[in-house]
Every structure is written in structure tokens, then in C-alpha cells.
């Protein structure tokens, strides 16, 4: 799985990149930058694609990503990027154990949480997506579709309505 992959559960906005995809959200967290949907919407499709495709793993790549993002936001929005209020705890990097936030949220929507083995088998981007989709202050409608897409649910394992 590529760090630039767009998930099937993001299909409703993938073609136009009208919303910030998980792959870019991961880069924003790594870069410690807060990008608003308003700022994102003012970027051109080429800008958005560049932000999706730009590498952002090593310290040098993170710095280049920050510079690219800052330049695009400055040019298109006439403003500076804001830092995240609080640096995220990168739980998606830990592969050994399913985070309690993901397990608890899965149980709250009546699905079996990923086992530790299943969690280890996910890519970093998939782990990041599940963590983001299980946050209290996030729109969680894609949690079950993501679990299904990642091969973590069987049809018998879900009883949640509104899928």
C-alpha cells in the first residue's frame, strides 16, 4: 500500500479531492500543521495532488512538505499555515497492539475490534485511518466501511445500522 493511496471509503470525494484524504491527513499530522477545509478548497487540484503525492516520512521530507504546504497556502489563501494546537501521539506507528481507542470505538458500534495480529498486518496509513475514524470529535461514518475495506470485518461480524 502506498502512502498516497486513496481508500474506497473516500470514493465520494476522491475524483475532485474536495475533502482532505487520509493520506494527506497523515502528512499534516507528521508535519504538525493544521490545514482547514477552507484552505484545502482554495488549493488547485494540482496543488492537492502534489500534497497527496509528496513524500513525508523522513525528517528532511517532512521539512520539504511543510515548505511546499506553506507556499501553496500562502499563494492560494494569502495566509500562513497554523501549527497543530497539540502534537498528535503517533499511535498509528505502534504495530504491537490495537490501541484502546480503536478497540473501544469498534465495540461501541457493535463490531469486533481488530486483533493485535490484524493490527500488525495493517499498513501505517490504514492504522492512521482507523485511529482518525475512531476519534470522538470526528465524523465516524466511515469507520465500519474502513474496517470492511481493510479486511477486518466479515458480513456476520457487523450488526451496526446505517452502513
Query: pLDDT band for position 153 (50/70/90)?
Result: confident
Alpha carbon distance 47, 8 (integer Å): 22
Question: In the predicted model, is pLDDT for residue 156 greater than 90?
Answer: no
Alpha-carbon torsion (100, 102, 105, 107), positive or negative:
negative
Is residue 119 within 8 Å of 103, Cβ to Cβ?
no
pLDDT, residue 154, reads 63
Query: pLDDT band for position 162 (50/70/90)?
Result: very low
Is residue 52 within 8 Å of 35, Cβ to Cβ?
no
Per DSSP, the three-state class of 37 is helix
Give the model confidence (pLDDT) of 44-91 as tens digits. Answer: 999 999 999 999 999 999 999 999 999 999 999 999 999 998 888 889
Nearest to 29 by CA among 110, 95, 86, 106: 86
**For the chain, where are the E strands, in sequence order?**
33-34, 82-83
Question: In the predicted model, is pLDDT for residue 158 greater than 90?
Answer: no
* pLDDT (average), residues 5-33: 89
Question: In the predicted model, is pLDDT for residue 157 greater than 70?
Answer: no
Here the cell at position 59 is 525528517
Amino acid at each position: 500500500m502506498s502512502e498516497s493511496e486513496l481508500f474506497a471509503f473516500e470514493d465520494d470525494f476522491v475524483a475532485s479531492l474536495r475533502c482532505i484524504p487520509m493520506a494527506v491527513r497523515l502528512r499534516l499530522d507528521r508535519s504538525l500543521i493544521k490545514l482547514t477545509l477552507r484552505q484545502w478548497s482554495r488549493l488547485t487540484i494540482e496543488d492537492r495532488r502534489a500534497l497527496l503525492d509528496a513524500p513525508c516520512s523522513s525528517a528532511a521530507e517532512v521539512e520539504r512538505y511543510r515548505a511546499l504546504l506553506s507556499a501553496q497556502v500562502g499563494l492560494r489563501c494569502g495566509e500562513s499555515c497554523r501549527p497543530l494546537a497539540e502534537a498528535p501521539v503517533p499511535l498509528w506507528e505502534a504495530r504491537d497492539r490495537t490501541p484502546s481507542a480503536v478497540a473501544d470505538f469498534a465495540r461501541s458500534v457493535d463490531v469486533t475490534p481488530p486483533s493485535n495480529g490484524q493490527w500488525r498486518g495493517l499498513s501505517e496509513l490504514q492504522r492512521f485511518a482507523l485511529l482518525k475514524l475512531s476519534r470522538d470529535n470526528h465524523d465516524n461514518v466511515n469507520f465500519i466501511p474502513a474496517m470492511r475495506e481493510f479486511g477486518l470485518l466479515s458480513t456476520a461480524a457487523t450488526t451496526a445500522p446505517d452502513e
